[in-house]
Structure 1
Amino acid sequence: MRLTAILSALIMFMNLGAQEWALPVISVANVRDTTRHGSEMTTQVLMGTPLKVTQRMDCGWSAVITPEGYTGYIIDNSLTFLDEGCMDSWRKSPRLAVTSSYEIKAYSSPDIKSEPVTDLVPGDIVVDARICKKGFFKIELPDGRNGWVREDCVAPLETLNNGNVAEKVLESAVACMGTPYMWGGLSVKGMDCSGLTKLAYLSAGIIIPRDASQQALVGTTVDMDSLKKADLIFFGNPQTGRINHVAVYEGDGYCIESAGRVKRSLPESAGQIITARRYIGNEGREGIVPVIHHPWYFATESVKKRTVD
């Protein structure tokens, strides 16, 4: 049913005329299954995540599609809306991703004693104002506010996929240890099992599906005795094959999962193992997309220019 809804939304979007876009303006915005605060939070989106808007509603909510095709509703005061021209300018702008392993602040001046402008969490995206002062970068938030962040807490968005992907994925997962489980959560403030794996891969600049059942459909299947670091292990009902949990393999027989809290576990203690999947080496295939190659994030000519530079 969920996949059917995603396909229907994508078809509806492609049939629209003038397209509208949105960017979350807070560190973590909640996505719900209906236009009510009391409805189920199905996922979250991080500041600066490009969203396609399929409907603006009089009640102050908007229907959106995330870069991986997930659908839901976000209250408008968590978003800033852009037309195609403004969105294209954003794609071509120099941007920074938050790479710290914890929640940080953007300040009103390059001084941690100055007034905070906003909180930021790993994976948030801001525009680089190209000004560095006292170890801080000046940034512009999606709604136009300015702030200053420590230069060691951010990195150019296009560089996330550089380096050893497995190491980055596991560094992110380990840094989340102790974070409370939260259904639909996708940040260091709280996360569910697939939120952990999605955030860990995002830290390495790779967009993967949102839910565990969707994550189990992409990549290549691997045997449990052939696991490599950063492979995903899926758990569920062996009679029906239904997936209800996912963990990331750490190596030496251990995995990291979000169950109650983010923790290190033995795979056999995390549930009934259904399958395991390998994403590394499958980047660019269906469902495993480097941020730098996703057209919602970067204009093609912008990617080429930055690669050359």
Structure 2
Amino acid sequence: MELQAGREAVVRVGVATLWASPEAVRTVDRPALAPRTDIAAWIAGMDADQQVGDCVLSQLLLGERVLVTELRPGGWAHVVAVEQPAKLDPRGYPGWLPAGQLTPATALPDTDPLVVDATVTALHATPDGPVRLPGVVLGTRLATAGPVVDGWRPVHAPGHDAPLWIPDRHTAAVPDAAPTAAEALAVARRLLDVVYVWGGVSTYGIDCSGLVHLAWRRFGVRLPRDADDQATATTPLPPGSERPGDLYFFARPGRGIHHIGIVTADPRPGDDRRMLHACYRQRRVLEERLPADRTATLVGAHRV
């Protein structure tokens, strides 16, 4: 089967980067454009300014569904990422992907679905055998292909006819219920010190709204991709009633929401608040007491 405009496809690489346009990519982006992506090398090869370039819109994980809307000569596909709600398009987040990172969608059994719970793992040809699909990250959803064998679990992988194998300890069952705030916060805390990358939604590099999206995605909760959309999709709280695992939103006067963080402590008298966030200024995920300029732009706390 080949990709077709108007049909769904799925991501066949560990992490695919969604671009503003084919013309926006840079020489430094080559590791993220390959049919077998190397996101770690891509991020390591960029300087601090390149890591926040607006050519990147978002990222998609292995098996994530897209609607293909256009195929362009030269190997590019315009898609809508249907699992990342966005105001930009009612169907999902729009952007461009290398067509070689996609494969036509086929029906896979979704009995006993799994989610990757390791920060980074790989899929192997056989139990403890050669790596066939590297760079599979936290929050990736997989379909079981059979029973565990010697600590290895077979899974279906897009673009591979035969099952691939993942260490069973790197997976978890997808829960039936939404996570508690503490559970989502615990996942986000595992990304402390991960580098800030504009548009990032992976454990290699991430931005503020990507951190929130990924923390809840680990539990099967589909939050929007961008901070302003996340504010719309969550419940506002009375001032001072926020608790760890809730969300802080920030906006400058007269402007839209531009930043989000996850509450990590009950508020205290004197505006003493703490949050975990992917910080553009310090270019990493960190936990901190809100400095004065953050407090001045805090516009609300919400609950998922």
What's the TM-score once normalised by structure 2's chain length? 0.77
Tell me which residue corresponds to 1:137. Answer: 153
- 1:108 aligns to 2:125 (yes or no): yes
Q: What one-letter code is carried by the residue in structure 1 that aligns with 2:72? A: M
Once the two structures are superposed, residues 207-232 of structure 1 have per-residue CA deviations (whole angstroms, 9 ceiling, x without a partner) of 11111122122222113410022211
User: Does the 8 A contact of 1:135 with 1:151 survive in 2?
Assistant: yes
SS of equivalent to 2:147: strand
Of 185, 189, 196, 2:204 maps to 189
More helix by share: 1
Tell me which residue corresponds to 1:97. Answer: 115
Of 6, 29, 34, 2:16 maps to 29
Share of identical aligned residues, percent? 25
SS of equivalent to 1:183: coil
Q: What one-letter code is carried by the residue in structure 2 that aligns with 1:29? A: A
SS of equivalent to 2:195: coil
SS of equivalent to 2:250: strand
Tell me which residue corresponds to 1:206. Answer: 221
Distance 1:139 1:43 in 2: 26
SS of equivalent to 2:232: coil
Q: What one-letter code is carried by the residue in structure 2 that aligns with 1:55? A: E
Question: Could you say what the CA RMSD is over the residues aligned between the two structures, in angstroms?
Answer: 2.1
Tell me which residue corresponds to 2:39. Answer: none
User: Does the 8 A contact of 1:230 with 1:250 survive in 2?
Assistant: yes
Tell me which residue corresponds to 1:227. Answer: 242
Matched positions, count: 252
Tell me which residue corresponds to 1:306. Answer: none
Q: What one-letter code is carried by the residue in structure 1 that aligns with 2:124? A: Y
Change (3 A) 1:163 1:245: closer
Distance 1:61 1:270 in 2: 42
- 1:243 aligns to 2:257 (yes or no): yes
Change (3 A) 1:263 1:161: farther
Once the two structures are superposed, residues 258-285 of structure 1 have per-residue CA deviations (whole angstroms, 9 ceiling, x without a partner) of 0111111123457221222111xxxxxx
Distance 1:117 1:166 in 2: 35
User: Does the 8 A contact of 1:218 with 1:277 survive in 2?
Assistant: no
Distance 1:245 1:41 in 2: 17
Change (3 A) 1:235 1:248: same
- 1:150 aligns to 2:167 (yes or no): yes
TM-fit CA distance, 1:165: 2.6
Tell me which residue corresponds to 1:304. Answer: none
Change (3 A) 1:134 1:276: same
Tell me which residue corresponds to 1:305. Answer: none
Change (3 A) 1:46 1:107: same
Tell me which residue corresponds to 1:10. Answer: none
TM-fit CA distance, 1:30: 0.5
Once the two structures are superposed, residues 188-224 of structure 1 have per-residue CA deviations (whole angstroms, 9 ceiling, x without a partner) of 0000111101101111211111111221222221134
Tell me which residue corresponds to 2:99. Answer: 76
Distance 1:21 1:94 in 2: 23
Q: Which runs of 5+ in 1 are unaligned?
A: 1-16, 280-309
Distance 2:189 2:244 in 1: 13
Change (3 A) 1:269 1:29: farther
TM-fit CA distance, 1:108: 2.4
User: Does the 8 A contact of 2:142 with 2:156 survive in 1?
Assistant: yes
Change (3 A) 1:128 1:91: closer
Tell me which residue corresponds to 1:297. Answer: none
SS of equivalent to 1:160: coil
Q: Which runs of 5+ in 2 are unaligned?
A: 27-53, 86-91, 267-272
What's the TM-score once normalised by structure 1's chain length? 0.76
Distance 1:151 1:92 in 2: 17
Change (3 A) 1:27 1:240: same
- 1:127 aligns to 2:127 (yes or no): no
- 1:62 aligns to 2:80 (yes or no): no
Of 231, 244, 247, 1:216 maps to 231
TM-fit CA distance, 1:24: 0.7
Distance 1:248 1:218 in 2: 15
Distance 2:5 2:196 in 1: 39
- 1:277 aligns to 2:302 (yes or no): yes
Distance 1:187 1:161 in 2: 23
Tell me which residue corresponds to 1:300. Answer: none
User: Does the 8 A contact of 1:65 with 1:71 survive in 2?
Assistant: yes
